[in-house]
Chain A
């Protein structure tokens, strides 16, 4: 065994573990299918409403509302999905003290780092899959919609999409970390799921951060769609990102300092400070 590349091996082991969580992969695929179906239905309804003269769409910045709808759905689905991914990924790792054995073999901080790294890659993968799937289905419908509304795609749209994706990514990261914290604090699975649902539905979904992001997603068109009001219109949009990243960082720190200590057989770890 080559001792020098132990840390690279840690990343490989984490990949193997992520790969084996087959049940979660199926849940993700299910979520993407639901999303695509939702997209199709939504688009059909919008087209119908337009053609029947019951709905007018005005664009403020050359941005199609169907794409905003997709972003909102991604935000909601990813928010919930990664909260539970956080819970179940730790549950899987905890089976029969496997987490303890890995913390003996590898550096615990490295394990956590690679867990987040792979979770990030998975987030990106699902985001990309959903977007590609959605776009493929929408191409023909969008053509018609665009013809009706005079929408012309320009270079700015990609920047806007990127910023919206960043919102979703940050929310998914926060949800993942919250899931990990929940399961680190409560060992019972049912309790974890109940708390996860509570946080997801009551705290997260209604939080100013979420509504801030929803506002960010819908700010560039003037559809009459009911979304949560931006908490304070005085707060500039870049500050929302800074605060969100700050919260994500803070949660990550909490995860390392408090959550992960309990993750190890519910006790403090001896070598924690030294690592």
Chain B
């Protein structure tokens, strides 16, 4: 379980997060929702130990980040790469993933990253390929805690299907997953919990169906997007 306990953070005098509380259970996918600039990425950086919150902490099964580092994986919205290194080297250096393992090669093949692409410098990848590499790197770490910042970004439907399959597989194995993103149609296929970040706080934290019902304004078949618009608006 990933637990955000009273996280507050500010850049100078600009307060971004204020007592952010929510939980992401094991074997579930939590959608950390929010409009642009609501502080989602800042929260992710706090969770990953890159920023120190002014108060509060993010716990992973009751433990701080540095104790569970090897069971944690993350994919940023723009995955970093060393441009003059091959994709294989990038996977090793950034995600601690060894290409020699059979399962790694199989998975990369499934993600549409052929051997040809992988041996070339990462700087030559398209945005979509780079994103696939980042997601593959995160998933291949076999994490217990996974954070995906806009995983649908730049992915074609075929690549998204592969990513979705892998994410659902991790979910079945009990990984606690937190996702952000703006493609509601694709997200609705995988998530089962929504935590809505608005005006520095979590204003809604509930299962997706409940979220849709509560913010659906009594409509019979309300979409996640409509519920989000109603809640965030």
Chain A residues in the interface with B (C-beta under 8 A): 1, 3, 6, 9, 12-13, 16-17, 20, 22, 92, 95-98, 100-107, 264-265, 267-272, 274-275
Known: A104-B49, A270-B46. A96 touches B81 (CB 8 A): yes
In the assembled complex, which residues on chain B have CB atoms less than 8 Å from the CB atom of A107? 66, 69
A103–B50 alpha-carbon span in the complex (Å): 8
A102–B64 alpha-carbon span in the complex (Å): 18
In the complex the two chains form, is B83's CB within 8 Å of A270's CB? no
The contact of A101 among B64, B66, B80, B97, by CB within 8 Å, is: B80
How many Cβ-Cβ contacts under 8 Å join chain A to chain B?
A: 99
21 contacts between A and B (CB under 8 A): A1-B96, A1-B142, A6-B96, A13-B96, A16-B89, A16-B93, A95-B83, A97-B78, A98-B81, A100-B50, A101-B80, A102-B94, A103-B50, A104-B49, A267-B51, A267-B52, A268-B52, A269-B50, A270-B53, A274-B64, A274-B67
In the complex the two chains form, is A271's CB within 8 Å of B98's CB? no
The contact of A105 among B64, B67, B95, by CB within 8 Å, is: B95
* A-B contact sample (15 more), CB < 8 A, given A96-B81, A105-B96, A271-B66: A1-B97, A1-B98, A13-B96, A17-B93, A95-B83, A98-B82, A98-B94, A100-B45, A100-B80, A101-B80, A105-B95, A106-B69, A267-B50, A269-B51, A275-B66
In the assembled complex, which residues on chain A have CB atoms less than 8 Å from the CB atom of B49? 103-104, 269-271
In the assembled complex, which residues on chain A have CB atoms less than 8 Å from the CB atom of B98? 1
A264–B50 alpha-carbon span in the complex (Å): 7
**Contact residues of A: prevailing secondary structure:** helix
A37–B172 alpha-carbon span in the complex (Å): 66
A16–B91 alpha-carbon span in the complex (Å): 12
Give the shortest distance, in Å, between B154 (CB) and chain A (any CB).
15
A267–B74 alpha-carbon span in the complex (Å): 19
Closest B residue to A105 by CB, please name it.
B96
Check B200 for interface membership: any CB of A closer than 8 A: no
In the assembled complex, which residues on chain A have CB atoms less than 8 Å from the CB atom of B89? 16, 20
In the complex the two chains form, is B80's CB within 8 Å of A271's CB? no
